[in-house]
Structure 1
């Protein structure tokens, strides 16, 4: 089947009616629909499908009033589409809101003792002094995009600072991948899980962030070195079937599609943008992942094999018990991979 056809089915499923389904209901304002609209924007920029842009602009109009209900790191994710939508529509409110939220991130958002953005969520749960890999995609990407939109070096410098802090604190020095989280109070990685989707958030997020801030500030060699080591480490854990286990150093755990797609996407765009050198090893890893993911997409465009949303779990074993169900972040990461997959345009012919 042509990749364009598959991608079209995936995004159509994302925008369908899914009331009372937390994982698939895009009519909310939180990280789950946030990843969904970020992916839809990426797909629009790749495909030029005007129907996608219409959906995004109408989605913002329908849901923007919900943004004020709770301001936490996870609820920043949907704002990441505002800079591009402003450029496309000229709606000044989008730019003004982006600046207001960026100022909140700089001046008011809770930070840990290491000055990392503390990962806060809309659920009634407190993760004080915790640093999660998720934050890079959910909040720092937005900050970087707003930095470029208004040419604000302070925003860009903070985005770079957050990327480096997360890469340092979450680093697994033995395997060069990332742990899910870091607890500043106890000074450890809690369960010590090398969770695949945590790695995917950063593998996918860092190239997108660098693309935005590079015109404004210098990117230090440290970022490229750390990110390059991360990709090499991730490829070393890819299983023979082309996927990653939900905890990547546990090959007996179930394979996880959203994390696998995010890592493959990161490999692809990092090479495309020159953040890492193009490599047959990375090209093969991304292609193998894509081919392994395609059978998990149903005829209706539903992406299966997606691990449920989770905090940092109490043990490594607990990640293997997280239920699997379709969710917008799984749809979204797969859609982003499809949008950037080599041969996608040729497959349309």
Structure 2
């Protein structure tokens, strides 16, 4: 990243003004980092003290732990890694029993990241077996969601593109075996060809929404659903080798989605649950917005997104997200579990919302550094 871009980023995140010296630049950078870390730790620590009634390897927790692992990698806070190591030991580094369901793969991501920190092969023995089962079966993917009794054995809903593909990509990193990338690549594009609306640069949640319309007769594109996808794209692209044959195709989809989403940002910096119909549910939502902030920051840091367009979008999104964080650290206005746009309130929180927020905060720290 160029020196000029670094200065531009720091100025946009901390505030506006001219830098009088390299020392002033460093001072503003330190201030920006301290503020982001303060918010990151506040949200992470609040969430670690507040549970939901699920197994801690359920996808709600898996999505939170992907963010917590990113928080550890960005800050070096050992408590966050220890939390994941303790979790893995408790569950013997296993997923839930529904091993063909993409949601069960979410926890594989932080488990594999923990393995890469510690290096004990027992930490990925079971999860590698789970992913190998997917590769070993030869049946053709059926990505229909409606009227499909096997819909949860394939990536038939767009959320699955966050839960499972990055797990395959991370297993490639852990083992060096390209078969995991190849399976991920094949099935990403099977699902994308079915669910992606290229004219809008957005994903339908599943095929039940192909012909559905919002209250104001707009196509229904769910904010968090698209957040799952662009978040998954960033996590896959972080790993996908530069010379992998379809990497340009992944990059093109990422850039197209990011530009579509940037154009739909609301005045407060966030996004409504129904992306094309802001009037139906006008209160902006945190979880989808946090995924967008994370992915766009990742895209700028990796020179895929235009800095002059996206740094202001990221700055507004981060500011808007922090208005939804209580003084104790609860991220509110998180839409509850669902599959379509719905109303939200200030008291609504979920683990996956905090996970997305931590991803965004960690990426901002990387972007500044």
Give the alignment's TM-score, normalised by structure 1. 0.83
Is 1:339 matched up with 2:362? yes
Q: Which residue in the other structure is 2:29 paired with?
A: none
2:204 aligned to which of 155, 163, 179: 179
Partners of 2:155 and 2:191 within 8 A in 1: no
* Superposed counterparts of 1:89-100, under 5 Å: 89-100=118-129
CA distance in 1: counterparts of 2:242 and 2:366, whole angstroms: 29
| Residue of structure 2 equivalent to 1:30 | 58
- Structure 1 partner of 2:131: 102
Match of 1:197 in 2: 224
Partner of 1:325: 348
SS in structure 1 of the partner of residue 328 of structure 2: coil
Give the CA deviation at 1:40.
Answer: 0.7
Residue by residue over 1:188-221, the C-alpha shift from the partner in whole angstroms, topping out at 9 and shown as x without a partner, is: 4666520011111111111211222316833343
Q: Does the 8 A contact of 2:165 with 2:184 survive in 1?
A: yes
Instruction: Tell whether the 8 Å contact from 1:136 to 1:162 is kept in structure 2 after alignment.
Output: no
Aligned to 1:3: 36
Aligned to 2:193: 168
Measure, in 1, the Cα distance between the counterparts of 2:86 and 2:92: 10
Q: Which runs of 5+ in 1 are unaligned?
A: 314-318
Shift of 1:169: 2.1
Aligned partners of 2:157 and 2:108: how far apart in 1?
Answer: 19
Residue pair 2:333, 2:344 contacting (<8 A) in 1 also: no
Q: Is the 8 A contact 2:158 2:225 kept in 1?
A: yes
Distance 1:95 1:69, change over 3 A: closer
Q: Residues 156 and 217 of structure 1 are in contact (CA less than 8 Å); yes or no, is this contact kept in structure 2?
A: no
Deviating more after overlay: 64-73 vs 293-302? 64-73
* CA–CA separation in structure 2 for the residues paired with 1:239 and 1:16: 32
Q: Flag the structure with larger Rg.
A: 2
Worse-matched range after superposition: 79-88 or 295-304 = 79-88
1:41 to 69, 79, 89: 69
The 5 Å alignment of 1:53-202 reads 53-64=81-92, 67-71=95-99, 72-108=101-137, 112-113=141-142, 131-182=156-207, 188=210, 193-202=220-229
Q: Partners of 1:45 and 1:57 in 2: how far apart?
A: 14
Does the CA-based 8 Å contact 1:156-1:216 persist in structure 2? no
Quick one: structure 1 residues 6 and 322, their matched pair in 2 at CA, closer, same or farther if it must change by over 3 Å? closer
Match of 2:272, SS state, is coil
Instruction: Decide whether the 8 Å contact of 1:171 with 1:178 is kept in 2.
Output: yes
1:281 Cα deviation after fit: 1.1
Going from structure 1 to structure 2, the CA distance change for 1:144 and 1:189 (only over 3 Å counts) comes to: farther
User: Is the counterpart of residue 301 in structure 1 residue 301 in structure 2?
Assistant: no
- CA gap of 1:337–1:43, structure 2 versus 1, over 3 A, is same
Q: CA 1:289 to 1:75, structure 2 compared with 1: closer, same or farther past 3 Å?
A: same
Structure 1 residues 138, 109: CA separation in 2 closer, same or farther (over 3 Å shift)? farther
Which shifted more, 227-236 or 66-75?
66-75
Unaligned runs of 5+ in 2: 1-33, 214-218
Residue 109 to residue 280, structure 1, CA distance change in 2 (3 Å):
farther
1:67 aligns to what SS in structure 2? coil
Query: 1:95: Cα distance to partner?
Result: 2.6
Measure how far apart 1:247 and its partner are.
0.8
SS at match of 1:45: helix
Evaluate the alpha carbon distance shift between residue 188 and residue 278 of structure 1 in structure 2; reply closer, same or farther with a 3 A threshold: closer
